[in-house]
Structure 1
Amino acid sequence: MVHDPSARDDEYLSEDVLSTLGDEPTRTIIETLSEPMTATELSEACDIPQSTMYRKLDQLTEASLVTESTQIRESGQHTTRYELDFDEIAVQLSEEHTLTTKIDRPARESTADQRLEELWAQIREGT
């Protein structure tokens, strides 16, 4: 599932983020994602079965911790790459004694290629 970064507001459900971070395989994926990688590359690097990898990447994407981008190749084939979508996560206890998360995002400018990738991902999701 492709997460639309333009629709994101930075008030995330702490439960989703904390649940995702509480899972050892998702933490392994986060620790491995030093650069954009495909699910296959991550599966091999993390020693996680590919079917499990896709579920974990969906979980990370839904929690807005990882973004997907589609790389269109000259051959017409495309591949999906995943990358971290945060620089820092802080967990805070409010005065009402509820846990909240604050996520610092990297500053990104959208290039024409990235906008085309996002459009392609939206078209692919609609089919």
Structure 2
Amino acid sequence: MSLEFSTSDDAPAFECVIAALDDGACREIVAVLEKPMTVHEVAEVTGRPLSTTYRKLDSLSEAGLVEEVEGIRQERHRKSRYVANFERLSIGFADGNELRVDIDRSAALGLWSNVGQEF
């Protein structure tokens, strides 16, 4: 049985996605990221330390499940915001008993898709 992504050639590794989904803190963070939030906002809403929130957002970004969508300026610094970038994720078997992960990004970002892409 082989593992593959059905989304694109540059899709994250299957194991990376599964590891992120297996992590309760990562799942909790994805659940609150319906709109762009800063790391501080995510930490506050989930009740997690900033260091943990940064690590989990890095894991989710690497897995392709969240995206940095805009930066807001506060004084001289730009603060990143993150949002979940998929609508649906499914794991199943394809032809030849290949385990596949399908990530549907069709309407996931909605109005956020074109916000602040320039940094």
TM-score normalised according to structure 2 size:
0.77
- Give yes or no for the alignment of 1:115 onto 2:117: yes
Identity across matched positions, percent: 36
Taking a change above 3 Å as real, the CA distance of residues 72 and 28 of structure 1, as seen in their structure-2 partners, is closer
Task: Name the structure where helix makes up a greater proportion of residues.
Answer: 1
* Larger RCO (alpha carbons 8 Å, 6+ apart): 2
Taking a change above 3 Å as real, the CA distance of residues 115 and 28 of structure 1, as seen in their structure-2 partners, is closer
State the Cα distance separating 1:88 from its structure 2 match.
Answer: 0.5
CA distance in 2, matches of 1:64, 1:19: 12
Task: Name the structure where strand makes up a greater proportion of residues.
Answer: 2
What's the RMSD between the two structures over aligned residues? 2.4
**DSSP 3-state at the match of 2:52:** helix
State the Cα distance separating 1:35 from its structure 2 match.
Answer: 1.0
**2:101 corresponding residue in structure 1:** 101
State the Cα distance separating 1:95 from its structure 2 match.
Answer: 3.7
CA distance in 2, matches of 1:9, 1:114: 25
**1:84 corresponding residue in structure 2:** 84
**1:57 corresponding residue in structure 2:** 57
CA contact (8 A) 1:10 1:103 kept: no
**DSSP 3-state at the match of 1:71:** strand
**2:4 corresponding residue in structure 1:** none
**Paired letter, 1:21:** L
**1:4 corresponding residue in structure 2:** none
In structure 2, the gaps of 5 or more residues are: 1-7
State the Cα distance separating 1:103 from its structure 2 match.
Answer: 0.4
State the Cα distance separating 1:83 from its structure 2 match.
Answer: 0.4
**Paired letter, 2:116:** Q
CA contact (8 A) 2:20 2:59 kept: yes
Paired residues, number: 109
CA distance in 2, matches of 1:47, 1:70: 23
CA distance in 1, matches of 2:11, 2:92: 13
**1:27 corresponding residue in structure 2:** 27
